[in-house]
Structure formats: structure tokens, C-alpha cells
Amino acid sequence: MKAEYLRIDPTSCAGHGLCAELLPEMIQMDDWGYPIIEGRPIPPNLHQHAQRAVSFCPTLALALQQNPATGRPSPTPPRRRQSES
């Protein structure tokens, strides 16, 4: 199977946060509740979870695509956060 990647349309995302609940392995929240998505291809064992995250997005902002995101550098890997003080 061809590698797939997550793509987010930031203009549609409203920060509901379901994706970060359903796919915490690849999606983390920033300090304002918006998802930070890893640019690496989705590993096979997470594929089903990724599809679930995509289908549960209330604003249809999350999608799977065949190509890595183009046109801008992939975001730095999210920092692991300590729980908010």
C-alpha cells in the first residue's frame, strides 16, 4: 500500500480536538488547542486510527493524502509537553 500522510486545512480547523484524542501518536495539541500534525507517513498500524480521526473531524479539516505536504517545511516534531502548570 502506498504511504499516506495527514493533511490539515488550517482554515477549516476550529480546534475541536477530536483528532488529538483519537490519534495521539501523531497529533498533539498546541497551547491554544489546535492540532500539531506530524509530517511522517502514517505507519500501517496506525492507519485505521488515522482514518477514524479523519472521519470524526467535525469540520472536515483533516484529510489523508498520498503526498507529503508541499510548499512549506513540515513543522518541527511536536515537543512533548509537561502538563500545564
Tell me if 36 contacts another protein by CB under 8 A: yes
Residues facing 63 on adjacent strands = 7
What is the Cα–Cα distance from 56 to 67, expressed in whole angstroms? 22
Question: Measured from the CB atom, is 48 or 81 closer to another protein?
Answer: 81
- How many residues contact another protein, by CB under 8 A? 21
What is the Cα–Cα distance from 37 to 59, expressed in whole angstroms? 16
Tell me if 32 contacts another protein by CB under 8 A: yes
**In the chain, alpha helices (H):** 18-22, 47-56
In the complex, what is the shortest distance from the CB of residue 79 to another protein, in angstroms, rounded to a whole number? 7
Positions in the binding site for another protein (CB under 8 A):
9-11, 13-15, 30-34, 36, 70-76, 78-79
